[in-house]
Structure 1
Amino acid sequence: METAVIAVIGTLLGSVITHFFQRQTADRTAALARSEQLRQERISAYSSFAGALVDYRRGQNDRWYRAQESAGSTAAEEARIDSYRLRSGAHQALIRVELVCDDPQALALAASAFEVTNCMHEAPDEADRSRRSEQARETLSEFIGAAAPGVR
């Protein structure tokens, strides 16, 4: 009789321990899956933002050149409207970055890159436009450098 009780207790103890370890393994697996999903979301958001900002920068340069060539012309108006469309896409991409990024420095750089790009068309002359365009490119590169360790 004692042997049977010991066998039942041993079986129950084995089941409890097995359940405990299986639960830990399942929790660990779920945490790794969440972590990988967030990493993939960050890669997608960061690359979409970079692409949208590159397009916006090109649009801002185009807007500036069309305004210099013939202010008020159809081409200048189309470039202005295109820059608004590109700004909207870049802003949406920035919002997505804000949702997935937990690095304050990277967030500040993303916002700064957007703002620098946003002000490019206000340059009074070619030298200032060129400086602003280069500053926008550099700030975007700094954002990429700051965000990259979070996705490696």
Structure 2
Amino acid sequence: MDVALIAVAGTLLGVIATHWFQGRATLRTAALTRHEQLRQERITTYSAFAGAVVEYRHSQNDRWFRAVEEPGSEEAEESRHASYRQRTAARQALFRVQLVCDDPDLRRLAEAAFDETHCMHEAVGTADRARRSDRAKDALGRFIAAAAPGLR
């Protein structure tokens, strides 16, 4: 009788231990899966934001050049409207960054990259335009450099 009780107790103890270890392994796997999904979402979101800001910067440069070359022309107006569309795309990408990013410093860097790009069309003179374009490019570079280590 004692042998049977020991066997039953051992079996129950084994089942409980197995259940506990499997539960922990399941939780760990679920956490790793969530972490990897978030990492992939951030990679997609951050790269889409960078692409949108590059396109916005390009459209701001085009807008500036067309406004300087032929103020009020149809091409200048067309370029201005194209920059508005790019601004909307960049702002939407910024919103996605703000939604998936849990680092306030990284969010500030993304906002700075957008803001630096946004004010490019206000440049007065070629040197000012080049300086503003470089500042926008550098701001985006700071965002990418800060985001990259967290994506590895």
Which residue of structure 1 aligns with residue 94 of structure 2?
A: 94
Q: Distance in 2 between matches of 1:19 and 1:53?
A: 50
Q: Secondary structure of the residue that 1:13 maps to in structure 2?
A: helix
Q: Deviations over 1:57-96 (max 9, x none)?
A: 0000000011111111110010000001000110011111
Which residue of structure 1 aligns with residue 11 of structure 2?
A: 11
Report matched runs for 1:1-152 at 5 Å: 1-152=1-152
Give the letter for the 1:13 counterpart. Answer: L
Q: Secondary structure of the residue that 1:71 maps to in structure 2?
A: coil
Q: Distance in 2 between matches of 1:61 and 1:82?
A: 11
Q: Deviations over 1:23-57 (max 9, x none)?
A: 00000000000010111011001100100000000
Identity of aligned residues (%): 61
Q: Distance in 2 between matches of 1:107 and 1:139?
A: 12
Give the letter for the 1:38 counterpart. Answer: L
- Structure 2 gaps of 5+ residues are none
Q: Distance in 1 between matches of 2:65 and 2:24?
A: 61
What TM-score does the superposition give when structure 2 sets the normalisation length?
Answer: 0.98
- Alignment root-mean-square deviation, CA: 0.7
- Structure 1 gaps of 5+ residues are none
Displaced runs of 4 or more, over 3 A: none
Q: Secondary structure of the residue that 2:129 maps to in structure 1?
A: helix
What TM-score does the superposition give when structure 1 sets the normalisation length?
Answer: 0.98
Give the letter for the 1:63 counterpart. Answer: R
Task: Note if contact 1:110-1:140 (Cα within 8 Å) is conserved in structure 2.
Answer: yes
